[in-house]
Amino acid sequence: MKNVAIDIQARTKAGKGVARKLRHAGQTPGVLYGPKAETIALSVNTHEFNRLLNSAGGEPLLFTLNLKNNGDSSSHTALIKNLQLHPVDDKIRHIDFYEVLMDEEVQVEVPITAVGKAKGVETDMGVLEIILRTVKISCLPLAIPRDVQINVSDLGLGDTVHVSDIVAPEGVRLLDDPETTLMTIVASKAEEEEKEEEEGEEETEIEVEKEGEAD
């Protein structure tokens, strides 16, 4: 978990028109909220925010938000809860920050990463099918991992990975149902088609033999 700081500005006005003006001025609208915090409407410098996201390289970010509000200032620790993206150019339109306390666990979703080459793919011409791409976890803010890794090297054709098979990083609790399926090794489409053809040929041979017997 990488900790970064950025200045934010409280705002008193809301609405599409206000948001449009903010974006034209190089600011991105957002909100800050949490279980023990009052919701605050805010704006953040778009260029600076994008720079921090790009520099993280996919690593989760813990923000120290330096809030300016009518001459007053305060500091808040927060995670990104949601990013609203433009449907065409994927530019960030709105940011939801979620305020956290460093000594209290938070619940977040992190991506799943398959590590290694499954023998069911390498030797049996199967395909690694990803059922879920994230898992829900609970941990302290600084313990949030970049991802949860699953070693798939020993997986053969038909093998399945469930949440119960994951070894969680230290300090991390998995919250999803242990029986939830995450990934499996399935036969490739080409293999299935070849099998269907073979089965079809076998059925034809049986029919021919029966006809021969009838004669």
pLDDT tens sequence across 59-109? 899 999 999 988 899 999 999 999 999 999 999 999 999 999 999 999 999
CB atoms within 10 A of CB 79: 19
Domain membership of residue 50 as a residue range: 2-100
Domains in the chain: how many in total?
2
- Assess whether 81 and 114 both reside in one domain: no
Contact criterion met (CB below 8 Å) for 78 and 65? yes
Contact criterion met (CB below 8 Å) for 125 and 188? yes
The CATH number covering residue 129 comes to 2.170.120.20
Q: In this predicted model, what pLDDT tens digit does every residue of 152-173 receive, in sequence order?
A: 999 999 999 999 999 999 999 9
d(CA 91, CA 47): 11
- Assess whether 111 and 148 both reside in one domain: yes
pTM confidence score = 0.79
> Among 68, 100, 132, which residue terminates a domain?
100
Tell which phi-psi region holds residue 171, choosing left (phi > 0), alpha (psi between -120 and 50) or beta: left
Work out the mean pLDDT of the chain and round it to a whole number.
89
